[in-house]
């Protein structure tokens, strides 16, 4: 008992060591992350971009959408297209679904557009302490990997959310491919087709088949269920006889009847 506890502790120690190693390795890769650290001075920047849902007017979807940075640490809203006559030279020109998230301190954030209907790919935005910005593909496994994306951000809808799974509908193909149905249909086919393929009246074939049957029977080492049952229920005196009869005929019981039927049909023809 004590041994197990010790094993557990040592395993835990090992486990701890392993973690330490992995972190040591990691440290070297991270040189470029240094520039995102220690927000000494308070730089506050605007993250801006544009979200687009092809074929849908901005009015129809933006009121339920938000721009989220790292959950809801920072929130931005999507803006409407400004009618042409209202654009004054002083204001910078805005288009459908453009957004700005104001007042963001330096750091690295995952920006996502949350809309109950439309799906967007999240983007990682890095802001240095000097206020420089870049956008890259989100990769949670290799976090230091940089695949740049254009900035200001261009968020394009990648489709609708698929919240629902379709109901299983009933179709003939499903029905026929059902294992139960297959199990029923295949023997039926065999029963109907086999006699047509081999001619059972051919004496050579019959001999061959009987031989193979005998081989099968002789190979059987498992106790036969019907045999056991008859042994169990039959009165002890006629045990031997009944067992012999049951055992020999049991497995063959199913086979001869269709053959007989077929041969009878043949004869009628």
DSSP string, 3-68: HHHHHHHHHHHHHHHHHHHHHHHHHHHGGGGGGG----S--EEEEEEEEE-TTS-HHHHGGG-EEE
DSSP string, 138-154: --SSSTT---EE-SSEE
**Radius of gyration over alpha carbons of the chain, in Å?**
39
Least distance from C-beta 156 to another protein, angstroms? 18
Q: Which of 126, 121, 125, 127 is nearest to 155 (CA)?
A: 121
- How far, CA to CA in Å, does 77 sit from each of 71, 99, 135, 177? 14, 6, 19, 52
Q: Which is nearer to another protein, 18 or 132 (CB)?
A: 18
Q: Which is nearer to another protein, 57 or 241 (CB)?
A: 57
Least distance from C-beta 9 to another protein, angstroms? 9
Q: Which is nearer to another protein, 86 or 218 (CB)?
A: 86
Q: Which residues bind another protein (CB under 8 A)?
A: 1, 4-5, 7-8, 11-12, 14-15, 18-19, 21-23, 25-26, 29-30, 37, 44, 46, 58-59, 62-64, 66, 68, 70-75, 77-80, 82, 86-88, 90-91, 94, 99-100, 102-103, 108, 110, 112, 114, 116-117, 119, 138, 140-143, 161-167, 170
Report how far residue 138's alpha carbon sits from residue 153's, in angstroms, rounded to the nearest whole number.
Answer: 13
Least distance from C-beta 70 to another protein, angstroms? 6
Q: Which is nearer to another protein, 146 or 216 (CB)?
A: 146
Sign of CA dihedral 172, 174, 178, 182: positive
Least distance from C-beta 249 to another protein, angstroms? 26
Token representation of residue 173: 């193909």
Least distance from C-beta 146 to another protein, angstroms? 14
Least distance from C-beta 184 to another protein, angstroms? 13
Q: Which is nearer to another protein, 74 or 206 (CB)?
A: 74
Q: Which is nearer to another protein, 37 or 249 (CB)?
A: 37
Token representation of residue 267: 């004869």
């Amino acid at each position: 008992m004590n041994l197990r506890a010790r094993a557990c502790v040592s395993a835990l120690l090992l486990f701890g060591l392993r973690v330490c190693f992995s972190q040591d390795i990691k440290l070297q890769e991270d040189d470029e992350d240094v520039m995102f650290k220690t927000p000494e001075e308070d730089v506050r920047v605007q993250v801006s971009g544009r979200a687009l849902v092809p074929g849908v007017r901005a009015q129809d979807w933006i009121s339920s959408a938000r721009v989220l940075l790292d959950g809801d640490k920072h929130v931005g809203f999507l803006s409407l297209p400004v009618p042409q006559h209202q654009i004054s030279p002083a204001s910078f020109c805005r288009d459908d679904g453009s957004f700005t998230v104001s007042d963001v301190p330096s750091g690295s954030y995952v920006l996502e557009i949350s809309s109950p209907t439309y799906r967007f790919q999240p983007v990682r935005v890095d802001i240095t302490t000097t206020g420089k910005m870049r956008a890259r593909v989100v990769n949670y496994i290799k976090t230091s990997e940089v695949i740049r994306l254009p900035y200001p951000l261009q968020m394009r809808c990648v489709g609708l959310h698929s919240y629902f799974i379709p109901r299983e509908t009933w179709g003939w193909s499903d029905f026929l491919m059902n294992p139960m149905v297959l199990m029923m249909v295949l023997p039926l086919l065999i029963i109907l087709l086999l006699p047509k393929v081999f001619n059972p009246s051919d004496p050579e074939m019959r001999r061959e088949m009987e031989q193979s049957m005998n081989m099968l029977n002789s190979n059987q080492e498992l106790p036969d269920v019907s045999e056991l049952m008859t042994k169990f229920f039959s009165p002890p005196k006629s045990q031997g006889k009944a067992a012999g009869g049951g055992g020999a005929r049991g497995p063959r019981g199913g086979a001869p009847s269709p053959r007989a039927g077929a041969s009878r049909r043949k004869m009628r023809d």
